[in-house]
Structure 1
Amino acid sequence: MTQSVLSRYLNPEILRRVADRPLEPHGLVMGNLAGAHKSPLSGFAVEFAGHRDYIVGDDPRHIDWRLYYKRDRLSIKQYEMETNFVCHLVLDISASMRYGAGNEQKLFCAAQAATTLAYSIVAQNDKVSLTTFDNRIQGYVPPGNTLAQIHRIIQHLDRISPVEKTNMVDCLTDLTGRMGRREIVMIFSDFFTDLTALETVLQRMKYNRHEIVLFHILHPHERTFQFEGMVKFLGMEETAEYLTQTEDIRNGYLASLHRYEAAFEDLCRRNAIECVSVDTSGNLGDDLVEYLNQRTRVRLR
Structure 2
Amino acid sequence: MKNTLSIDLAAIRRFENLEFLAKQLVAGFITGLHQSPYHGFSVEFSEHRLYNSGESTRHIDWKVFARTDKVFVKRYEEETNLRCHILVDVSPSMYYPVETYGKIAFSALSAAAIAVMLQKQRDAVGLVTFSDKINLQTPVKSTSTHLHTLLLNLQQVLQQPTSTKTTETATVIHQIAQQIPKRSLVIIFSDMLGRNDDTSTIFAALQHLKHQNHEVLLFHVMDKRTEEQFDFAERPYIFVDVETGEEIKLQPSQVKAQYQAAISQFKQDLALKCGQYKIDFIPVDISEPFDKVLQSYLIKRAKVK
TM-score normalised by the chain length of structure 1: 0.74
CA distance in 2, matches of 1:149, 1:214: 24
Q: Which residue of 2 aligns with 1:75?
A: none
Shift in Å, 1:83: 4.5
CA distance in 1, matches of 2:147, 2:247: 39
Alignment equivalent of 2:250, drawn from 244, 251, 255: 244
> Is the Cα contact below 8 Å between 2:80 and 2:121 reproduced in 1?
no
Shift in Å, 1:222: 0.5
Q: Does 1:278 align with 2:284?
A: yes
CA distance in 1, matches of 2:184, 2:272: 23
Letter in 1 for 2:207: Q
SS of equivalent residue, structure 2 residue 97: coil
CA distance in 1, matches of 2:216, 2:81: 17
Shift in Å, 1:36: 6.7
Residue deviations 1:174-200 (CA, integer Å, cap 9, x gap): 112211100000111000142211111
Q: Which residue of 2 aligns with 1:66?
A: none
Q: 1:235 to 1:274 in 2, by over 3 A?
A: same
Shift in Å, 1:291: 1.4
Q: Which residue of 1 aligns with 2:156?
A: 159
CA distance in 2, matches of 1:83, 1:155: 25
Q: Which residue of 2 aligns with 1:106?
A: 103
CA distance in 2, matches of 1:297, 1:175: 24
CA distance in 1, matches of 2:106, 2:123: 23
Q: 1:218 to 1:9 in 2, by over 3 A?
A: farther
Q: Which has the larger radius of gyration?
A: 1
Shift in Å, 1:208: 1.2
Q: Which moved more, 1:108-117 or 1:159-168?
A: 159-168
Alignment equivalent of 1:231, drawn from 231, 234, 237: 237
> Is the Cα contact below 8 Å between 1:37 and 1:83 reproduced in 2?
no
Letter in 2 for 1:14: L
Shift in Å, 1:155: 1.7
Q: 1:12 to 1:191 in 2, by over 3 A?
A: same
Residue deviations 1:79-107 (CA, integer Å, cap 9, x gap): 99544111000111000101015656101
SS of equivalent residue, structure 2 residue 17: helix
Shift in Å, 1:203: 1.4
> Is the Cα contact below 8 Å between 1:9 and 1:116 reproduced in 2?
no
Q: Which residue of 2 aligns with 1:94?
A: 91
CA distance in 2, matches of 1:187, 1:36: 24
Q: Does 1:14 align with 2:14?
A: no
Could you tell me the percent identity over the aligned residues?
Answer: 24
> Is the Cα contact below 8 Å between 1:104 and 1:280 reproduced in 2?
no
Q: Which residue of 2 aligns with 1:5?
A: 16
Residue deviations 1:61-82 (CA, integer Å, cap 9, x gap): xxxxxxxxxxxxxxxxxx9954
> Is the Cα contact below 8 Å between 2:17 and 2:155 reproduced in 1?
no
Q: Does 1:256 align with 2:262?
A: yes
Unmatched runs of 5 consecutive residues or more in structure 1? 26-34, 39-46, 49-78
Shift in Å, 1:283: 0.6
CA distance in 1, matches of 2:297, 2:144: 21
Letter in 2 for 1:187: I
Q: 1:234 to 1:82 in 2, by over 3 A?
A: closer
SS of equivalent residue, structure 2 residue 174: helix
RMSD, matched Cα: 3.0
Summarize the alignment of residues 1-301 of structure 1 with structure 2, pairs less than 5 Å apart. 4-7=15-18, 10-11=21-22, 13-18=24-29, 21=41, 82-101=79-98, 105-160=102-157, 161-164=161-164, 165-193=166-194, 194-220=198-224, 221-228=226-233, 229-284=235-290, 286-292=291-297, 294-295=299-300
> Is the Cα contact below 8 Å between 1:15 and 1:116 reproduced in 2?
yes
> Is the Cα contact below 8 Å between 2:18 and 2:109 reproduced in 1?
no
Shift in Å, 1:6: 2.7
Equivalences, count: 249
Q: 1:142 to 1:19 in 2, by over 3 A?
A: farther
Q: 1:266 to 1:113 in 2, by over 3 A?
A: same
